[in-house]
Amino acid sequence: MKQNMHSRDRKEQNSPEARALRQRIHSHFHYLYDSAINHGLKSSDFEKIRAVVELREDTDNFEIPDYVFKYFGAWLFLFISLIIVYLSEWPVENDTLFKFWMDSKGVDSKSHRCAVEIFDFVQEMSRPPVKSCDFCRNVKSVKRVENISPEQFEKLYAYSGRPVVVKDGTKNWTASQHFSYQFLKTVYSKNSTALRNVEEHCQFFPYKSKFKNLEEVFEMSDDRAYMKDKSSPWYIGWSNCDLSAANTLRQHYSRPYFLPQQSESSKTDWIFMGSPGYGASLHIDYVNHPSWQAQITGTKRWTLEPPPECYFQCPRSFTVTVQPGEIIVLDTNMWYHSTLNVGENISITIGSEFD
């Protein structure tokens, strides 16, 4: 009996799930350990902590399965070969190779512009560390301000990296009176130039909603969009690079009044829309400048975390809920952030960068 129990325990410990868990623990442990040493804690002091000793003993026993090394070389060779063929266009042209690659993934090559998406961990490995943690030090919550002048905003928040919510950020806008799922569906109507330009020239983020493109989003029934048929929640975003759609939308909003006079907003605005109960998972953006995002309808809760190199100098994480009519200003290049639509209404936000 005892022998069977030990055998079952060994199988559970060697299961793929258990190995993956140990690998994650191993990675996180060594990151924390190295960070502590780099911040002046002696190795002998760190290793006196009983939990650390037990954790390290457990993770040190982890071994990478042989099959990882067996197949990694083959996959790496295949991947490099595809890159060489794509760059040299020999023995097949790029269009042919691109179509073959997308067909193998079961994806329509006409509706997707990227053959290979950069994995999150690759982006994270290439991310340069922040030079100073002053932007998050002693920041335990997001301040809310109103009636702030461009001079005050520039001095306190614009380029400091410190997040802020401007409560009256959308004053004099009419967007909250017009923007809705139905309104945007009209702007990006089927077979319209605006919809076609989004598909061909703009970026589209389905997150985990399983939509292939913006057209599929607006093909939903009202019951599906508003989750009246008990459908799963959804959340998507897209860059509006179509001039006609931009002109229509900008009739109802303008450059936020508090931005510094000399700053310029990006010519391309972003639109994020989704039902309650869904949002974007924790990530960091790779854009050029700080961003503002205006909450037009619905309510969105943001969770902010500093980058790993600032964990020992800044609060671990905190949340802020942005209400309709408010604008959150955030340097998404510095702050890891996730969002969740809360409340009962569809969340629609408009955002852009500013320099």
Q: How far is CA 149 from CA 68, 241, 326, 328, 355, in A?
A: 58, 30, 16, 16, 17
Residue 20 has pLDDT above 70, yes or no: no
**Do 264 and 300 share a domain, yes or no?**
yes
**Rounded mean pLDDT of 249-257?**
94
Residue 138 belongs to a domain: no
Least confident of 95-99, 161-165, 215-219, 330-334: 95-99
Residues 237 and 333 in one domain: yes
**286/347 same-domain check:** yes
Which residues partner with 336 through β-bridges?
A: 305
Asked if omega into 91 is within 30° of 0 (cis), the reply is yes
Q: Is residue 137 part of a domain?
A: no
What's the CA angle centered on 218, arms 238 and 286, to 5 degrees?
Answer: 10
pLDDT at position 215 over 70:
yes
Domain residues for the domain of 55 are 2-60
250/337 same-domain check: yes
In DSSP notation, 241-271 reads --HHHHHHHTTS--S-TTS-TT--B-SSEEE
For residue 194, tell me if it sits in a domain: yes
Whether residue 303 sits in one domain with residue 274:
yes
Please count the structural domains in the chain: 3
Question: Do 101 and 207 belong to one domain?
Answer: no
E runs forming strands in 25-176: 143-145, 164-166
- Per-residue pLDDT of 149-207, as tens digits, reads 999 999 999 999 999 999 999 999 999 999 999 999 999 999 999 999 888 888 899 98
Do residues 50 and 78 share a domain? no
For the stretch 56-66, pLDDT in tens is: 555 455 455 56
Report if residue 133 sits inside a domain.
Answer: no
Could you tell me the pTM of the whole model?
0.68
Q: Are residues 217 and 195 in contact, defined by beta-carbon separation less than 8 angstroms?
A: no
| Average pLDDT rounded to a whole number, residues 264-278 | 88
Are 56 and 70 in the same domain? Answer: no
Q: Is it the case that residue 341 has pLDDT exceeding 60?
A: yes
326 and 259 inside one domain = yes
C-alpha to C-alpha distances, 178 to 174, 184, 247, 253, nearest whole angstrom: 7, 9, 14, 10
119 pLDDT band, cuts 50/70/90, is very low
User: Do residues 203 and 272 share a domain?
Assistant: yes
218, 289: one domain: yes
Q: Is 281 found in the same domain as 188?
A: yes
